[in-house]
């Protein structure tokens, strides 16, 4: 599990692909939707089921931020300041971060992009990068949830400091309070899940990221999935939406 994490999180000249055997179908997905809708949880479930690598730009920035201050580049320090305020990191920094890790796009089972792209400029750059790498997206899944439910999810979210597994205080509590079920790492609340950052992030989503729904609809890649209910219910909905769509690889 999480075999893709080291290369993606640390920058990839490292090998991303250690699957013993490639899965029968290669799946390359973008997960869209407002913050807190459950993209990270779904990406982890899809990763387990499909053998596709889970690539999250938010995790890359958080991981870089957890390094000692002296180990951070100026670009990363700048990115972390945007993140803390709930604002988007500038496109140029995000795109450079992804380009450095382009080898991860060739994971044998495919990839699940979670939190990238987030602007039309990023989506256009991703299309160019995929063309250069001769890769095609299988589908783009847009998760949808009313705003009140999103705020509730974000406020109760807790993340494992080691393996990045995501929990929720009431909807998906860990067996032992404050500890990850998978690796026993300490759970923490993200700084950008504080109320003021949540407000900014939702506003930023509406302005910058929601236009991607139309962008991908025009490319005939969009699948809409309601994100109400438990993680398992959303997952089942996702898989059935994918199964009625002919997979391109």
Catalytic residue among 157, 158, 164, 172: 157
Q: Rounded to whole angstroms, how far apart are CA atoms 75 and 145?
A: 33
CB 145 within 8 A of CB 34: yes
Catalytic residue among 39, 101, 164, 172: 39
Catalytic residue among 49, 84, 85, 190: 190
156-215: contacts with ligand AMP (CB under 6 A): 192, 201
Is 116 an interacting residue with respect to ligand AMP (CB under 6 A)? Answer: yes
Minimum distance from residue 204 beta carbon to ligand AMP (Å): 7
Question: Which residue lies nearest ligand AMP, judged by its C-beta?
Answer: 58
Among 112, 115, 160, 225, binds ligand AMP (CB under 6 A): 115
Q: Which is nearer to ligand AMP, 56 or 142 (CB)?
A: 56
Among 57, 125, 142, 159, binds ligand AMP (CB under 6 A): 57
Minimum distance from residue 38 beta carbon to ligand AMP (Å): 11
Which residues here bind ligand AMP, judged by CB under 6 A? 35, 56-58, 61, 82-83, 86-89, 94, 115-118, 122, 192, 201
């Amino acid at each position: 599990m999480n075999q893709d994490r080291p290369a993606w999180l640390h920058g990839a000249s490292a090998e991303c692909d250690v699957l013993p055997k490639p899965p029968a179908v290669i799946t390359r997905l973008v997960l869209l939707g407002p913050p807190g809708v459950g993209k990270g949880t779904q990406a982890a479930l899809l990763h387990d089921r499909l053998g596709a690598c889970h690539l999250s730009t938010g995790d890359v920035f958080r991981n870089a931020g957890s390094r000692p201050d002296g180990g951070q580049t100026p670009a990363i320090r700048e990115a972390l300041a945007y993140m803390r305020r709930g604002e988007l990191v500038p496109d140029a920094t995000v795109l450079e971060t992804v380009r450095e890790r382009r080898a991860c796009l060739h994971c044998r089972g495919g990839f699940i992009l979670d939190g990238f792209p987030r602007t039309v400029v990023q989506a256009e750059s991703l299309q160019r990068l995929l063309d250069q790498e001769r890769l095609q997206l299988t589908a783009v899944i847009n998760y949808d949830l009313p705003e009140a439910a999103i705020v509730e999810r974000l406020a109760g979210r807790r993340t494992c400091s080691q393996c990045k597994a995501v929990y929720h205080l009431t909807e998906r509590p860990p067996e032992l309070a404050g500890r990850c079920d998978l690796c026993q790492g300490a759970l923490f609340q993200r700084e950008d899940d504080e109320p003021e950052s949540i407000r900014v992030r939702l506003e930023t989503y509406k302005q910058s990221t929601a236009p991607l729904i139309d962008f991908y609809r025009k490319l005939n890649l969009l699948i809409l999935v309601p994100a109400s209910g438990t993680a398992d219910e959303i997952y089942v909905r996702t898989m059935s939406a994918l199964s009625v769509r002919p997979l391109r690889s």
